[in-house]
Structure 1
Amino acid sequence: MDSSATFNHSAFFDENSSSHRFIAELLEKADIRINGDRPWDIKFNAHGVIDEALARGNLGLGESYMNGDWDAERLDEFFFHLLRARLPDEINHRKLIFHHLRTRLLNLQTAKRAFEVGEAHYDLGNDFYAAMLDPRMTYTCGYWKEADTLAEAQEAKLDLICRKLELEPGMRVLDIGCGWGSFMAYAAEHYGVECVGLTISREQTEYGKQLMKQGLPVEFRLKDYRDETEQFDRIVSIGMFEHVGRKNYRTYMEVANRCLKDDGLFLLHTIGKNVRDTSPDPWIDKYIFPNGELPALGHVTDAAEELFVVEDLHNFGADYDKTLMAWHANFEAAWPQFAEAYGERFYRMWRYYLLSCAGAFRARDIQLWQFVLSKKGVLGGYHRVS
C-alpha cells in the first residue's frame, strides 16, 4: 500500500529549511535519502513530517506514518538503518521530557492498571491473532536455530523452554502471563505436566476454555500476578516481564520466589534494552502496549538479588527479527478479511509496529533474553541446553 506514486514528493521537502537540512544530513549518516529510490529511503507525502519527528520523536514519526504523510517501501530496513546508526541518540526531544518524567516517577503498572494492556492490545480479537500467529497462537519470539517456518520456530522455542526447566511428568507449572496457552498446552502434551496460567486478557481466558475442553490439564486464571499465592515445581514467564515496569520488578521477583518450591527452576523470557536509563518508546506506549517498559539487564539482576541465583542467560534477540517478519507476512496476507472492520489507519499502525520492531532487533538495538533462575543454586551446577 505504498501511496508514493500519487504524490509529487519533492513538493513536500524544502531544501532551504534549516530543520530539513539538519535531518537530511543526519539521515545520510544512516545511508537514508529523502525521496530516494532505494527500498529503505523515506518518501514524503505531506508537509510537517520532519517537524513532527523533531518535536515528538518516534511518537511524531509514527503518527505521521499512520496518517499517510510518509512512506518507505521497506519500513523494516528504514528502521534498521536508522537504529544501527544510532540516530535517535543525536536528537534531543525536549517535548518528550514529560513522558520521561511520567515513566520515571509514576507506577504505570499498578494492579489497577494491569488490565489496560489486555483490553487495548490482547483483546483485539482471537480471530485476528489466529491469522497472524502460528497454529499454537504463540505471541513471543520463535527459536530459528534449526527451523524453516514460523510454526517450527515456535515449537522449537517451547521445547527449548521445557528442556531448560527439566520438566518431568506430574510436575505443576505456573505460567505468569500465559497468553493463549501455547506453552501450557505443549508442556502438558509432550512432558506430562499440569499447568496454571495467569493472564489479564479476557479474550485469552475464553480461548483457554477451548484447550481445557480438549482434556488438557491446564487452568487459566484471569488474575494479576501479584495475587497468586500457590506454590509450584516450576515457573515460566514468556514475554510478560515487559509489562511489569521498573517500580514493580522487585515485587515480581518476590512473587516468583514465593510461588516456587525451594528446589524449583524459574525461566524468565523477556525482551530487553541495552541502556538502563531510557524511557519507554512513546509511540509503542500510546498505540501498542500501554504502560509497558523494557528492562535493562541490570534491572533483572538487581530485582533477583538475594532471591534467585542466575543459572543461565541466553540471548537470541536476532531471532525476533525473523519472527516479526513472519508475523508481518501473515498479517499482510490476512488483511483483506479485516480491512473493513479495522480500517486503513489501523493497518498502517500495525505495519509500523511489526516492521519497526523487526528493524530494531535486526540492528541489535533491543534483545531477547532467557534467564534460568533457582532459589538456592543447583547443586553440582546447571547444565545448559540449546
Structure 2
Amino acid sequence: MKISDLLRLSTDNLRRRKGRTALTVIGVVVGTFSIIVMISLGIASNAQNEAMLQSWGDLTQITINNYQWGAASGDVPVLDDKMLEQLRSYEHVVAVTPMYQDNNLNAQIYAGKNDRYEAYAWNMYGVDMDALQAMDYQLISGSFVADDLNLGKKKIPVLIGEHFAYEFQDTRKSPNSGKRQRYWGETDALGNPVEPFFDIQKEKLTLRLTAYDSNGNEKNRGLSAGGGWRIPTGRCQAVFLTNSGIAMRVTDVQMLSKAYQKLSGNKQNSGGSYMITSSGQQLKQKDNGYENVYVKVDDVDNVSDVEQQIKDLGYETYSMTQIREEMQASVAKSQMILGGTAAVALLVAALNIANTMMMSILRAPPRKSV
C-alpha cells in the first residue's frame, strides 16, 4: 500500500467520525495550551518577584554586619581598611565601602539667618565616595566627592539624601506648634506638595558639635566664632539606609570624632558603640573594625559565591539573594504542581488520539475489489 493510500484512508476515516475527531483535537489543544500557560505563569511569577525584590533593595549588594560585644574571641579577622582591600580583590566584586558612624557624636546642622533652621545629624555616615558611583547611586544635583578634594579649612563636602531638607525645624516656632517642621509627602489643603523651609542647594549649611561639661553647661565647637564647619553639598537620591541622611568621607567623620573628643573631654567612648547592661556595666564594642560594610557584585548570579567567601572569613552577611532563592524555590514547586496537572491533561489527550486511531482502523469498511 502506498503512502498516498494510507493518507487517503486516514482522512476518510477522520471525516467519517467528525465528532470523535473534533473532541480529540480539542483535548490535544487544551493539554498543549495548559502546559504553555503553566510555564508562562512560572516565568511571570519569577519576573514579578525580581521586580518586587528590586524595589526593596539592590539584588547585587551584600551587607557585612560586624557586631562584636564584650571580650574578643579572635575568631573573626579585623574588618579594617586592609580587609576591605582584600574584599575588593575578590572576583566579581565591583566596589566595597564601609558605613562608618560615630554613635556618640552630638552634631547639629543649621541654616537660614541667625541659624533659624536646625536639624540633628542622626544619620551621618562615613563612606568610600569612589564606591558610590559603582553602586548605582544617582545624583539629583551636584557631584560626587573625590577623595583628594580639599575645600579649605573647616569645609566638609558631603552628599545629602533626597529628602534631607525635611529634617529641619523652624526654631522660631513653638515645640508644640504643627508649623515647626514640614514632612516629605505632606500636602496642603489643595493637595499640592509642601516644600521644605528653604532650597537646600542654595542655602549655606553649618555643622556644629555640642557637648556638656560636668556642670551641665553647653559647649559648642566654633559657635563663639560664629561658624562651625561649612558644608558644600551634592544631592543624592538615596544614602544607604535612609534618603534623609548625610554621607561624607570616612576621614571627615573621623576628624569630627576627634574634634568632639577634644570638646567633650571624653576620649573613651568616641568612635564606636557601647551598651549599658542591667547592672550598669558598660560594655565596649570589640575593636574589630567597621561595623557595617557594603559589597557590590557585578551580577546577581554571582552574589551567592561572593557571599560564601565572606562567610568563610567569619563574618555575618545579608543579601536579597537569600530571599530571592527562597522565592524561586517556591515558584519552582508551584510550577511542578501546575505542570504535572497540565501533563495529565496532555496524556489524556494522547490516549484519546490513540483511541480514535484504533477505532478508525478497526471499523474501517472493506475496500471494493475491482
TM-score calculated relative to the size of structure 2? 0.21
Higher helix share: 1
Structure exhibiting the larger radius of gyration computed from Cα positions:
2
TM-score calculated relative to the size of structure 1? 0.21
